[in-house]
Amino acid sequence: MLAGIAGLLRQDYVNPEVDPWADSPFGWIRSRPSRQRGTIGEQLVAGWAAAKGLDVVRSGDAEADRVINGRRVEIKFSTLWEKGDYVFQQIRDQRYELAILLGISPFAASCWVVPKSALLGVEHEGLSGQHAGRRARDTSWLRFPASRPHAWLADFGGTLAAAHRLLAG
């Protein structure tokens, strides 16, 4: 009964126009520490891929997060930042074939399936060294407005349906 009353009172205190995450099914993720968010992102991708009929197993090592349909994948996860950007962090040159970039907004999801060879070792708009600027080599991050992904990402999905086609292919 108390939970029901709290639900009714909530509308008097939470303004979805001020906090777009207020009624989001993903809002709780933003309250978790960043390391947990990464794990949650991995679990979201693994659960989604399995539900779509793809074969998903753990990679067995720290060089990739999962093996999906026989391909080693690294999963990067971002919730929408306050200024409307997705920021995918800790992109490293490890032993994986594909990077899955899952971006979550309050009521939408975007997903790209990028071959490692197209992501690392190539100059791309939005991709820079995470710890020492553009010259950093060991760890990178990718940042772009969620509403306007960089043109170079167009061939790698953008929607969950497109990401599924690329993974299933």
140 in Cβ contact with 127 (< 8 Å) = yes
Task: Quote the CA–CA distance of 107 and 121 in Å, as a whole number.
Answer: 33
Query: Angle at which helices 160-168 and 34-51 pack, to 10 degrees?
Result: 70
- At 32-51, the pLDDT tens digits run 998 899 999 999 999 999 99
Task: Quote the CA–CA distance of 11 and 27 in Å, as a whole number.
Answer: 16
CATH architecture of 33-168: 3-Layer(aba) Sandwich (3.40)
Supply the pLDDT for residue 101. Answer: 97
6 in Cβ contact with 61 (< 8 Å) = no
The two beta strands, 56-58 and 66-68, are antiparallel
Task: Quote the CA–CA distance of 77 and 114 in Å, as a whole number.
Answer: 13
Reported as a pLDDT band with limits 50, 70 and 90, residue 52 is: very high
Structure tokens, 97:
């074939």
Instruction: Point out the least confidently predicted range of 9-13, 33-37, 59-63.
Output: 9-13
Q: Kindly state the helix (H) or strand (E) to which residue 90 belongs, with its residue range.
A: strand 85-91
Task: Give percent of the chain above pLDDT 90.
Answer: 66
- At 124-168, the pLDDT tens digits run 777 776 655 455 557 888 999 999 999 999 999 999 999 999 999
Supply the pLDDT for residue 130. Answer: 61
Supply the pLDDT for residue 94. Answer: 94
Domain residue extents for the chain: 33-168
Q: What pTM was computed for the model? A: 0.87
Supply the pLDDT for residue 15. Answer: 72
Task: Quote the CA–CA distance of 75 and 45 in Å, as a whole number.
Answer: 8
